[in-house]
Amino acid sequence: MEKDENFSEWFDRVLREAEIVDDRYPVKGFVVYRGWGYEIARRIASILEELLEEDGHQPVLFPTVIPEDAFRREAEHIAGFSGEVFWITHAGERRLERRLILRPTSETAIYPLFKLWIRSHADLPLKIHQTCTVYRYETKATRPLYRGREFLWNEAHTAHVDFEDAERQVKKGVEIYSKVFDKLCLSYLILRRPEFDKFAGAVYSIAFDTWNPDGKVNQIGTVHHLGENFARAFDVTYEDPTGRQRYASTTCYGLGISRTIAAVIAHHGDDHGLVLPPVIAPKQVVIVPIPMKGYEEAVAEYAVEVEGVLSEGGLRVILDDDPKRRPGEKFYKWEMFGIPVRVEIGPKEVEGRTLTLVRRDTLERCETPLDGAVEAIRVLFKEIEENLRERSWSRLRSEIGEASNLEELRRLMEERRIVRVNWCGSDECAERMKEEVAGEIRGMRWDEEETPTGPCIACGGEALYVVYVSRAY
């Protein structure tokens, strides 16, 4: 199955055969995480949680339901989300007097409690996070991991004494997310979303967009400065050192775990299936014994010994000694599951007390003595990570094209690229790009200043921004 020929079919097959998620659950837009997929999800979540907690975020778990009156508090927020929330209107036979929604995101669940918890400047900053599922009634076609009606994410919410301190937290949030994606060897663009596309209720929004083989960018994380908007709507105030009541400034950020797994699969996978960075692989090493006539017992014993050495060395190891399947079938299976390193053991390895290592990313082989094997495999993990990271970033660079008029933009959009253009900043020109060439303005670089080198691509007027245009999930 060729990934680049038919990404969509390839992706569905990897989800099924590598036991990531099963989309045959009988409710559209809802999927079941299977063993391999959910372990990957939990490892991604724990990398993120550890970084958030190092930065002083406390883990919390808020209820899934939000009362209607709380949800309706922040005007722009409702306007942005009301079309896609699930309502709970009944309990048993009775109609609820106070309708509830399933959280599409948790600001309106959290702020009524922030109001109670925050009294004085000494309570700030307040930083919390939770890993949970959220619910959005997506009307566009759903697609497992990319766009579901229930998805897995981590959301952080913070409150600060003023706009500047909240802005420092926004930078911190971007830094934490960058670290997570770097560990997963993913490339990304950090973009400040245009006004018309910011989070409902935010002052501004920053997003992590990444390439996808089908040409639709995948938003894997967002960070928002909320200013005093939510604090005013929910009356979250604190007493400053002079005794004056002031509104808190707040931020929130979310990292889509489902979408991040989609990016890992899409960036690193190949025609043999999944390729996992060692840091999130549920099993990092698979040992496959290759018995030959007369050596069965020696090979089996040595394989168990190797398993012991590698496990004791702290590696996550599986020994596949199922006698009913041939080595070739095992290679095929574990390549599909993306285990970073395969260890092959036959009579030659037993004789020399060595291991043959096959790295999943390049399928190259090498030999190493059992003595020192743990260290050698760890070195190989580093090389695999560097290779995956380099491949992902060079693909991102090659996806980006430049257009100086709508015709060029049209051509590059047809090639399903991410296109850099000059833009005047008007909604009309954004609308034209969307209508005429099906390109969405994703935003301008947040981590690097880029100045326009020519007029607006749509109206020919003075350009204020360099923006990235693409199709998107």
Query: Which segment (43-51, 69-77, 110-118, 457-465) binds Zn ion by CB under 5 A?
Result: 457-465
186 binds Zn ion (CB under 5 A): no
| Smallest gap from residue 444 Cβ to Zn ion (A) | 14
- Contact characters 367-406, Zn ion, x per CB under 5 A: ----------------------------------------
Binding flag, residue 464, Zn ion (CB under 5 A): no
- Smallest distance from Zn ion to CB 197, Å: 16
Q: Counting contacts by CB under 5 A, is residue 458 touching Zn ion?
A: yes
Residue 203 CB, nearest distance to Zn ion (Å)? Answer: 24
Measured from the CB of residue 431, what is the shortest distance to Zn ion in angstroms? 10
The number of residues that bind Zn ion (CB under 5 A) is: 5
429 binds Zn ion (CB under 5 A): yes
State yes or no: residue 424 binds Zn ion (CB under 5 A): yes
Toward Zn ion, which CB reaches closer, 178 or 426? 426
Interacting positions 95-154 with Zn ion (CB under 5 A): none
| Sole window of 191-199, 300-308, 381-389, 417-425 interacting with Zn ion (rule: CB under 5 A) | 417-425
- The residue (of 212 and 422) whose beta carbon lies closer to Zn ion is 422
Choices 124-132, 262-270, 383-391, 459-467 (CB under 5 A): range interacting with Zn ion: 459-467
Identified binder of Zn ion from the candidate list 47, 438, 459, 472, rule CB under 5 A: 459
Minimum distance, C-beta of residue 157 to Zn ion, in the bound complex (Å)? 36
3-state secondary structure the chain: CCCCCCHHHHHHHHHHHCCCEECCCCCCCCCEECHHHHHHHHHHHHHHHHHHHHCCCEECCCCCEEEHHHHCCCHHHHHHHHHHCCEEEEECCEEEEEEEEECCCCHHHHHHHHHHHCCEHHHCCEEEEEEEEEECCCCCCCECCCECCEEEEEEEEEEECCHHHHHHHHHHHHHHHHHHHHHCCCCCEEEECCHHHCCCCCCEEEEEEECCCCCEEEEEEEEEEEECHHHHHHCCEEECCCCCEEECEEEEEEEEHHHHHHHHHHHHCECCECCCCHHHCCCCEEEEECCCCCCHHHHHHHHHHHHHHHHHCCCCEEECCCCCCCHHHHHHHHHHHCCCEEEEECHHHHHHCEEEEEECCCCCEEEEECCCHHHHHHHHHHHHHHHHHHHHHHHHHHHEEECCCHHHHHHHHHCCCEEEEEECCCHHHHHHHHHHHCCEEEEEECCCCCCCCCCCCCCCCCCCEEEEEEEEC
Pick the stretch among 150-158, 177-185, 419-427, 437-445 that binds Zn ion (CB under 5 A).
419-427
Which residues sit at the interface with Zn ion, rule CB under 5 A?
424, 429, 456, 458-459
